[in-house]
């Protein structure tokens, strides 16, 4: 085998180098190569088809290759096993031909080579992410390319894709010896917001002839600070108290905002819940509180100023509020008097509540004490703004008679937390009209004369009544002393007169009908009486003549007393002369109308001469 040893020298790792070797049969006999044995995994032989027979003097070319997988010196050998055939011969003493003779042999050729690392380009970092870069500014990141192989390489070109990306600090062509590096920078200068990707592609004669470095970045708008709400109105806040409202700060831009300072101006305003310095990433929010604690009444304005490195470095949040005096609840009227209300009926009175203070008042409860009282028209809780009023009704519906006192207690958050309205009323039974006599009997009354009796009216109920009419029926009856309308309070009485004045004889009846608003709306008083004609007494004869009567003796004459018209009662009789005496009757006596009674008159003269006299009946 020629050459007798094969040396490959330096061969780049990952490549294959092939050398030729000539195999020659330099003997006089044929030989057959049966096997090629390679010692060393990085070496190989090719171009031979086994078994291969070479006649004497014949040559063949084989290829020997070296493929180093790694750097470093490597050695081995290639051994060829062959057999030489020698023909038989007719030598003396052998008496004829003999068979061919064979001889086995091996030829070995040493091989060697060195694997070397070819030039290879690597980038550190392998990709570049520039993150968020504010529009109108630029961001730069260093990149190093290094020849990690053992042979020099030449960088011929660097191309950049992606809007806004650029490469600086790389002068081409550039030769890098084994292990040598070169730094350069990649810059991103966005003109619009949004994510951008690109690459830096480096062309060289390295084993990786095109090295691509991925690029990414995001163009962002500048950080901007906004507040929600943009202003705070606290409305009316009672002096000595406080109200707190929340504000949210948001970075509406694309880059981080750093808040360095907050300042609250205006009496009574303060800020809490914001620890500084504070960084807000793009889109991030932070809430804090603003408190208004007025010490005096009146409108107060203020401001929260927030200082940061945002595009709006000073953010102002206007503040407004009013300190107000505490709400005060006033009632009108301060007490309610229902007077007298009939049991079973009801009476309602209106009450007005007014917030006379400077802040709203919330009424939470209305508590009523006292039997028969109730509240309506007040829906709770009820809120009254400063100066506002509301009306409601209080009703008194007594279930029994008698005076009742009570109160409505209104509970609120006013400075006078409990307002009490006093209530009073009297439950009363209905008025009742009664008469001292339900019947008036006048007896007998002479015609054309009159007699009067007293009648007393009394209100025996619990409420005032009014007598409006008095109607009298029946001939000869009348009333006097009753002026209408007549009002009688509970328990009060009034006396008037009832008269019977008959104009004809005979029995008479009638009524007095009194109309009022009492529970017994009509009171009737019965009347009765009898008209009588005046009796007439007559005597017959009307004169008595005794003639002559001896002195010392007596003479009797009889007369008849008669009654006409009506009965006549004779109660006495008198004479004008003692010489005349009346006998035969006892006083008093009554002569029925149309009847007569005899009487005897005796004349007893005491002296001579004419005597005269009269008898008078009463």
User: Does residue 425 have a pLDDT over 70?
Assistant: yes
DSSP assignment of 551-594, as one string? TTS-EEEEEEEEEESS-EEE--EEES-TTEEEES--SSEEE-TT
Same domain for 591 and 516:
no
Please give the Cα distance from 162 to 216 (Å, whole number): 9
Same domain for 518 and 556:
no
Residue 586 maps to which CATH number? 2.60.40
Residue 41 maps to which CATH number? 2.60.40.10
Q: Give the per-residue pLDDT at 204.
A: 93
Please give the Cα distance from 154 to 18 (Å, whole number): 26
Name the domain count of the chain.
6
CB 602 within 8 A of CB 578: no
Q: Could you tell me the residue range of the domain that residue 452 belongs to?
A: 433-532
Same domain for 526 and 438:
yes
Q: How confident is the model at residue 98 (pLDDT cuts 50, 70, 90)?
A: very low
Same domain for 215 and 230:
no
Same domain for 169 and 182:
yes
**Cβ atoms within 10 Å, residue 381:** 10
225, exposed or middle or buried, with CB in 10 Å at 0-12, 13-18, 19+? buried
CB 560 within 8 A of CB 527: no
Last residue of some domain: 272, 297, 324?
324
User: Does residue 478 have a pLDDT over 80?
Assistant: yes
β partners of residue 339: none
Please give the Cα distance from 587 to 615 (Å, whole number): 14
Look at residue 1 and tell me if it is in a domain.
no
Same domain for 85 and 54:
yes
With CA atoms as reference, report the closest residue to 9 among 116, 110, 109, 120.
Answer: 116
Q: Give the per-residue pLDDT at 87.
A: 65
For residue 92, the 8-state DSSP code is T
Q: Find the radius of gyration of the CA atoms of the chain.
A: 77
Q: Give the per-residue pLDDT at 458.
A: 97
User: Does residue 93 have a pLDDT over 50?
Assistant: no
Look at residue 110 and tell me if it is in a domain.
yes
User: Does residue 530 have a pLDDT over 90?
Assistant: yes
User: Does residue 319 have a pLDDT over 50?
Assistant: yes
pTM of the predicted structure, to 2 decimals: 0.40
Please give the Cα distance from 247 to 229 (Å, whole number): 6
User: Does residue 532 have a pLDDT over 90?
Assistant: no
With CA atoms as reference, report the closest residue to 527 among 470, 467, 485.
Answer: 470
Same domain for 528 and 446:
yes
Same domain for 231 and 265:
yes
Cα→Cα distances 356→115, 123, 334, 385, 413, Å: 104, 82, 14, 9, 13
Q: φ, ψ for residue 583 (rounded to 5)?
A: -145, 170
Same domain for 196 and 247:
no
Q: Where are the alpha helices (DSSP H) in 214-267?
A: none
Q: Give the per-residue pLDDT at 588.
A: 94
User: Does residue 585 have a pLDDT over 50?
Assistant: yes
Look at residue 359 and tell me if it is in a domain.
yes
Q: Give the per-residue pLDDT at 207.
A: 84
Find the mean pLDDT for residues 131-138.
90
Look at residue 233 and tell me if it is in a domain.
yes
Q: φ, ψ for residue 323 (rounded to 5)?
A: -80, 130
Same domain for 172 and 109:
no
Q: What letters, b where the CB count within 10 A reaches 16 and e where it falls short, cover 462-471?
A: bbbbbbeebe
Q: Give the per-residue pLDDT at 119.
A: 83
401, exposed or middle or buried, with CB in 10 Å at 0-12, 13-18, 19+? middle
Q: Give the per-residue pLDDT at 91.
A: 43
- pLDDT averaged over the chain? 92
Q: How confident is the model at residue 264 (pLDDT cuts 50, 70, 90)?
A: very high
Q: Give the per-residue pLDDT at 494.
A: 97
User: Does residue 576 have a pLDDT over 80?
Assistant: yes
CB 37 within 8 A of CB 108: no
Task: Give percent of the chain above pLDDT 90.
Answer: 79
Look at residue 94 and tell me if it is in a domain.
no
β partners of residue 377: none
Find the mean pLDDT for residues 233-239.
91
Q: How confident is the model at residue 88 (pLDDT cuts 50, 70, 90)?
A: low
Q: Give the 3-state secondary structure of residue 603.
A: strand
Last residue of some domain: 177, 201, 220?
220
Q: Give the per-residue pLDDT at 285.
A: 97
Q: Give the per-residue pLDDT at 255.
A: 85
Look at residue 572 and tell me if it is in a domain.
yes
DSSP assignment of 413-456, as one string? SSSS-EEEEEEEEEEEPPP-EEES-SEEEEEEEETT--EEEEEE
Look at residue 95 and tell me if it is in a domain.
no
Q: Give the per-residue pLDDT at 375.
A: 97
Please give the Cα distance from 445 to 500 (Å, whole number): 8
Q: How confident is the model at residue 101 (pLDDT cuts 50, 70, 90)?
A: confident
Each residue's pLDDT tens digit, 381-395: 999 998 999 999 999
Q: Give the per-residue pLDDT at 218.
A: 92
Q: Give the 3-state secondary structure of residue 332.
A: strand
Last residue of some domain: 324, 339, 369?
324
Same domain for 457 and 371:
no
Same domain for 106 and 201:
no
Find the mean pLDDT for residues 269-285.
95
Longest dimension (CA), the chain: 272
* Residue listed under structure tokens 């305003």: 269
Look at residue 171 and tell me if it is in a domain.
yes
With CA atoms as reference, report the closest residue to 425 among 400, 393, 450, 388.
Answer: 400
Q: Give the per-residue pLDDT at 100.
A: 65
Q: Which of 55-69, 265-279, 531-545 has the lowest mean pLDDT?
A: 531-545
**Cβ atoms within 10 Å, residue 567:** 13
């Amino acid at each position: 085998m020629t050459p007798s040893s094969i040396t490959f020298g330096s061969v780049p790792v990952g490549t294959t180098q092939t050398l030729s070797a000539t195999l020659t049969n330099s003997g006089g006999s044929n030989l057959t190569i049966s096997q090629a044995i390679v010692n060393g995994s990085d070496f190989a032989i090719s171009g031979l088809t086994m078994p291969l027979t070479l006649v004497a003097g014949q040559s063949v070319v084989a290829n020997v290759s070296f493929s180093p997988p790694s750097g470093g010196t490597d050695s081995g050998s290639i051994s060829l096993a062959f057999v030489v055939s020698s023909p038989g011969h007719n030598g003396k003493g052998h008496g004829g031909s003999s068979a061919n003779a064979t001889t086995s042999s091996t030829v070995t050729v040493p091989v060697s080579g060195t694997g070397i690392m070819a030039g290879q380009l690597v980038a550190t970092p392998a990709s570049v992410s520039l993150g968020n870069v504010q529009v109108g500014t630029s961001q730069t990141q260093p990149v190093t390319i290094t020849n990690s192989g053992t042979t020099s390489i030449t960088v011929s070109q660097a191309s950049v894709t992606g809007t806004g990306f650029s490469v600086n600090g790389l002068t081409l062509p550039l030769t890098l010896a084994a292990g040598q590096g070169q730094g350069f920078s990649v810059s991103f200068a966005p003109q619009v917001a949004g994510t951008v990707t690109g690459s830096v592609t480096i062309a060289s004669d390295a084993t990786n002839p095109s090295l691509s470095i991925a690029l990414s970045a995001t163009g962002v708008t500048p950080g901007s600070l906004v507040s929600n709400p943009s202003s705070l109105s606290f409305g009316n806040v009672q002096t000595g108290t406080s109200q707190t409202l929340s504000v949210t700060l948001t970075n509406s831009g694309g880059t981080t905002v750093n808040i360095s300072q907050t300042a609250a101006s205006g009496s009574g305003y303060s800020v809490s819940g914001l620890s500084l310095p504070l960084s807000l990433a793009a889109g991030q929010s932070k809430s804090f509180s603003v408190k208004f604690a007025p010490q005096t009444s009146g409108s107060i304005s203020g401001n929260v100023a927030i200082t940061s490195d945002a595009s709006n470095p000073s953010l102002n949040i206007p503040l407004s509020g009013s300190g107000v005096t505490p709400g005060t609840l006033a009632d009108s009227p301060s007490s309610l008097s229902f007077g007298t209300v009939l049991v079973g009926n009801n009476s309602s009175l209106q009450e007005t509540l007014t917030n006379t203070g400077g802040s709203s008042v919330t009424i939470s409860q209305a508590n009523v004490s006292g039997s028969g009282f109730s509240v309506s028209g007040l829906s709770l809780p009820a809120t009254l703004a400063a100066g506002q009023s509301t009306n409601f009704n209080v009703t008194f519906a007594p279930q029994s008679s008698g005076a009742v006192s009570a109160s409505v207690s209104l509970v609120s958050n006013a400075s006078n937390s409990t307002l009490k309205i006093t209530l009073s009323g009297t439950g009363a039974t209905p008025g009742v009209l009664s008469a001292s006599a339900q019947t008036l009997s006048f007896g007998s009354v002479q015609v054309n004369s009159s007699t009067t009796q007293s009648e007393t009216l009394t209100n025996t109920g619990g409420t005032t009544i009014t007598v409006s009419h008095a109607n009298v029926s029946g001939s000869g009856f009348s009333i006097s002393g009753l002026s209408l309308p007549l009002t009688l309070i509970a328990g009060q009485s009034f006396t008037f007169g009832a008269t019977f004045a008959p104009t004809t004889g005979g029995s008479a009846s009638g009524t007095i009908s009194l109309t009022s608003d009492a529970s017994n709306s009509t009171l009737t008083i019965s009347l009765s009486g009898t008209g009588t004609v005046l009796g007439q007494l007559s005597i017959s004869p009307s004169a008595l003549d005794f003639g002559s009567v001896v002195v010392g003796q007596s003479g009797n004459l009889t007369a008849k007393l008669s009654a006409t018209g009506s009965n006549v009662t004779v109660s006495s009789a008198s004479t004008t002369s003692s010489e005349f005496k009346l006998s035969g009757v006892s006083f008093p006596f009554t002569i029925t109308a149309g009847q007569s009674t005899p009487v005897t008159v005796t004349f007893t003269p005491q002296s001579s001469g004419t005597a005269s006299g009269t008898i008078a009946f009463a």
